[in-house]
Amino acid sequence: MPRLRHAVGDFLREHAPLSAERRDAALLILSELLTNAIRHAGPLTPRIAVEAGLDGARLRLSVEDRHPHRPRALDPHPEAQDIGGRGLLLVKVMAAEAGGDCGVDPTASGGKVIWATLPYDRA
């Protein structure tokens, strides 16, 4: 995972109009999404895909796996007594505080894509 973080960090420094603070938040979000995919879906799916995409106004980070389970932490009202899911709640809060969003979408193969978006800022 450190090599992936480094590669995405280099990409963002070179191509994305993000402040250092927002870039660090993006890398933390990416790490959390990937860690969750490895921990929860990894034993059941041989392939996990990571994407960092740029458009005219936003950075989109996503991790796709073939496991159908939808994480409860991204539901509108996660259970307060749940022990797990704090990392995804952190992703949700960080994205929202930056003016972005996060969510989970089903894939045609029965898996899911968990994603987060962050708007550009003027670095």
Structure tokens at 19: 């402040």
Helix (H), strand (E) counts: the chain:
3, 4
Distance, CA of 66 to CA of 78 (rounded, Å): 23
Distance, CA of 20 to CA of 73 (rounded, Å): 27
Distance, CA of 86 to CA of 84 (rounded, Å): 6
Query: pTM of the entire structure?
Result: 0.84
Domain ranges of the chain: 2-119
Distance, CA of 73 to CA of 7 (rounded, Å): 28
**Looking at the domain that runs over 2-119, which CATH code has it been given?**
3.30.565.10
Query: Could you list the pLDDT tens digit for every one of the 123 residues in the chain?
Result: 788 889 999 999 999 889 999 999 999 999 999 988 888 887 778 789 999 999 888 999 999 998 888 776 655 555 555 555 577 888 999 999 999 999 999 999 889 999 999 999 854
